Amino acid sequence: MNVPVIAIDGPSGSGKGTLARLLAARLGWHLLDSGALYRLTALAALRRGVALDDAPTLARVAAELDVHFESDGSREGRILLDGVEVGAELRTETTGNAASCVASVPQVREALFERQRRFAVAPGLVADGRDMGTVVFPDAALKVYLDASAQVRAERRYKQLKEKGIGANLADLVAEIRARDERDMNRSVAPLRPAEDALMLDSSTIGIDAVLDQVMVWMRERLGEARH
């Protein structure tokens, strides 16, 4: 099996989710939103009353996760957990923080490893996460590490929340983002860091269109004009 994979890693708010979705749509490839798997594991655990530090039970929840991604795991498509649609609950701060705890449990990461690998199906996969290039798809044809300053990421989050009619404090958001980065970058397993062969991109001062254009250039260089 030699399915081409583009691994996109980086901190939350860097725009990697949007980039991955646009890239997958442009190429007609599959999409893996690996953060959603950690969020779903956290949600399933919370619903079952499993403590977020009960590693063996969390690993079992992750291994037995009954999840179905409609329209290929895209953030736009419906996601079913135990046959029931998961709505906005998946993207709340509560679920995100629980996901960050669950994601620091090595047995959970192990349990989700094969499930993530199975997304690599022809004609290709765009994989979005924190350890796509370092752990899950070390053989990826192209690895991109998309970053942005904590201030810019907090401002984006602030705008998103405001659009949803949710009030927030910018300084608090900057502090929360820094705390989340700290946890994701310093955990003992699969910490957030660029793969050695990742191409670095900073979206602090450029828009998503420019980010997408740059990645398409790299993509053509790596995979050749024949494909796209």
Residues 6+ apart with CB under 8 A from 166: none
For the bound state, the minimum distance from the C-beta of residue 70 to ligand DC, rounded and expressed in Å, comes to 18
Sign of CA dihedral 160, 166, 167, 172: negative
Identify the bridge partners of residue 160 per DSSP, sorted by sequence position. none
Cβ proximity of 123 and 28 under 8 Å:
yes
Closest CB to ligand DC among 37 and 219?
37
The H-assigned helical ranges of the chain are: 16-27, 34-47, 55-63, 93-102, 106-117, 150-163, 170-186, 208-223
The H-assigned helical ranges of 3-146 are: 16-27, 34-47, 55-63, 93-102, 106-117
For the bound state, the minimum distance from the C-beta of residue 157 to ligand DC, rounded and expressed in Å, comes to 11
**63-65-71 Cα angle (round to 5):** 125
Closest CB to ligand DC among 124 and 133?
133
Written as six digits, the tokens of 129 are 């996460």
Closest CB to ligand DC among 60 and 91?
91
Closest CB to ligand DC among 208 and 228?
208
For the bound state, the minimum distance from the C-beta of residue 205 to ligand DC, rounded and expressed in Å, comes to 22
Rg over alpha carbons for the chain, rounded to the nearest Å, is 17
For the bound state, the minimum distance from the C-beta of residue 160 to ligand DC, rounded and expressed in Å, comes to 13
Distance (Å) of CA 198 to CA 118, 140, 146: 22, 10, 10
For the bound state, the minimum distance from the C-beta of residue 188 to ligand DC, rounded and expressed in Å, comes to 12
Closest CB to ligand DC among 16 and 219?
16
Residues that bind ligand DC (CB under 6 A): 12, 34-35, 38-39, 96, 99-100, 103, 129-131, 184
For the bound state, the minimum distance from the C-beta of residue 132 to ligand DC, rounded and expressed in Å, comes to 6
For the bound state, the minimum distance from the C-beta of residue 119 to ligand DC, rounded and expressed in Å, comes to 12
Closest CB to ligand DC among 33 and 219?
33
Query: What 3-state class would DSSP assign to 72?
Result: helix
The closest residue (CB) to ligand DC is: 35
**221-227-228 Cα angle (round to 5):** 75
Closest CB to ligand DC among 85 and 213?
85
